[in-house]
Copies of this chain bind each other. A is one copy, B any other.
Amino acid sequence: MMNEWLECTLKSLNLTDSMKRPDGFTRLGYSEEELEAMAVFKQVSEELGLKVRRDEAGNLFARWEGVSENVVMTGSHLDTVENGGGYDGAAGVLCSLGAVKKLKEHGFVPQASIEVVCFASEESARFGVSTIGSKSVSGILEPAVQEVKDRHGITVKQAVESVGLKWENMLNAERSKDEILSFIELHIEQGTQIEDHGAKFGVVRGVACPIRLKVKAGGMAGHTGTTPMGKRRDALAALAPLISFVSNTAEALSAASSKPLVATVSTLDVKPNVMNVIPGYAGAGIDIRSVDDQLKRKMADEIIAFCRGLEEEFNVTMSIETLVDNSSILLDGKLMARVRDAGEQLGYQAFEMDSGAGHDVMNMAAKWPSALVFIPCEKGISHHPDEFTSLEDLSIGVDILAEVLKQEAGD
C-alpha cells in the first residue's frame, strides 16, 4: 500500500511514466520543468491534507498544522542536473511526504507544526551556484548571486523572475530562528559506503563543502600545420598536465589522510575549438571536497603552485579564480543521535559518515539544529540516468523520517 503510493508518487514528481529513461531527467533550477514538478508536489501535498505555501524564493512548504506555531521541517528539492536521475532530491521530498502520510494514517496528532519543504534550485548545474532556495530560507543568500549567468546568458535574477518571483523580495523568504525547531533532510547517498559497511542507512556527521577554482590558460592561437612544435603557446597542451595532477594529487592526499578528499576537473572549455587552429585559450573548472577544510585548502594551494610552473613551462598565462570556498559543516549531534536511534529501533543498521556532496541541509544547519539521513542508491551512481534507489530503501527512509518527526513534533 505505502510502496504503491511511493512508486506512483515518485513517477508523478518526476513527470514520467517510467523511471528508466535513457536521457534521465533534466529539471534545472528556476525552469519550467522544476515548476511543473513543484505543481505535482503541491497537488500530492493537498491530497494528504497539507496546506501549501510558496515563499518569495520559490520554495514550497506543505504544512500540517500542529497545536503550536513552532515548526519541525523536513524535505529536499526537485530540481536536477542535466540528464540526471530521478532520486537526487526527489527521494527526500517523497519520503518526507510519505512520512506525513504514514503519521496521518496512524492518527498522529502533532504538537509542533510539521512542514514538508521543496527547496528551489538546489543543484549548481545551471548557474554554478547551489542551494539558492535554502540559502534564502536561512538568510545567507548573497545579493551578488543575481548577476550570475547560465550558459545561455540568463542571470539568476532573470530566471527567478521568469517563474513569477521578484528578486527584490527574495530576502523576505528568510525564516526566524525561533520559529523552526529542527530540520531533517533525507537524501540518496550518491556513494556506496552504506552498502560497503553492511548498513541500511547513513547518519551524516558533516557535509564536505567545496572549494571551486576556475583556471584559465591564455596562449596563442595559430595554424596547426604551420607552427613548429617548439614555437607554440598551446593553451590546451599547457592545461593537460593539470588535469592529471588534480586527479593524482587528490588520490595521494586522500590516501595519506584520515578524512577522504576528492578533486575533479569537471569542466573544460577550449577556444576556438576548431580542427586547424592551435587552442589559444583553455579554461578548467575544478571541484575540491573534503570535510577536512585544511586538506581542501592544501589541495587548492598545490593546484595554484602547479599552475605557476605550467605558466613558465608552456609560455602561457594562468589565472586562477576561487569561485567557491565554503567551510565544511557539522550537523547537530543530538538530532543525529535521535535519527540513528530511531532507525536502529526500527531494526535498521545505521552507518555514521560524512557527506561528500553539499545539500540544502548545510544552509539550514547554519541556523537550526539539523540532521541528514542517507538511504542507499544502486552502485553509488548519481547525477546520471542510471541513478536508482529501491522501493524497499525508500520505504525504510519513510519509516525513519516518520519516527523522527513523531518524536520531534510530538513532545
Interface residues of chain A, those whose CB is within 8 Å of chain B, are: 81-83, 123-125, 128, 130, 189-192, 208, 210, 212, 220-232, 234, 236-237, 240-241, 243-244, 247, 250-251, 254, 260, 262, 264-270, 272-280, 282, 285, 287, 289, 323, 355-358, 380-384
Contacts and interface: CB of A to CB of B under 8 A. Distances in A.
Contacts of A274: 81-82, 124-125, 266-267
Contact of A270 (B123, B241, B260, B268): B268
Contact of A251 (B128, B230, B265): B230
A275 B270 contact: no
In the assembly, how many copies of this chain are there? 2
A275 B191 contact: no
A232 B248 CA distance: 12
Contact of A243 (B190, B240, B250, B380): B240
Nearest to A243: B240
A223 B382 contact: yes
The 7 closest A-B pairs by CB, nearest first: A240-B243, A225-B356, A190-B226, A225-B357, A191-B226, A229-B251, A226-B356
A381 B232 CA distance: 11
A260 B231 CA distance: 13
A243 B247 contact: no
B267 A222 contact: no
Given A225-B357, A231-B380, 13 more contacts: A124-B275, A128-B275, A189-B226, A221-B384, A222-B383, A222-B384, A224-B287, A264-B278, A266-B276, A267-B274, A268-B282, A276-B357, A276-B383
Contact of A275 (B224, B232, B241, B287): B287
Contacts of A190: 222-223, 225-227
Given A221-B383, A264-B224, A250 B229 contact: yes
17 contacts: A81-B274, A81-B277, A125-B275, A220-B381, A223-B382, A224-B264, A224-B289, A225-B357, A227-B380, A234-B264, A237-B244, A237-B247, A240-B240, A240-B241, A268-B270, A275-B323, A276-B383
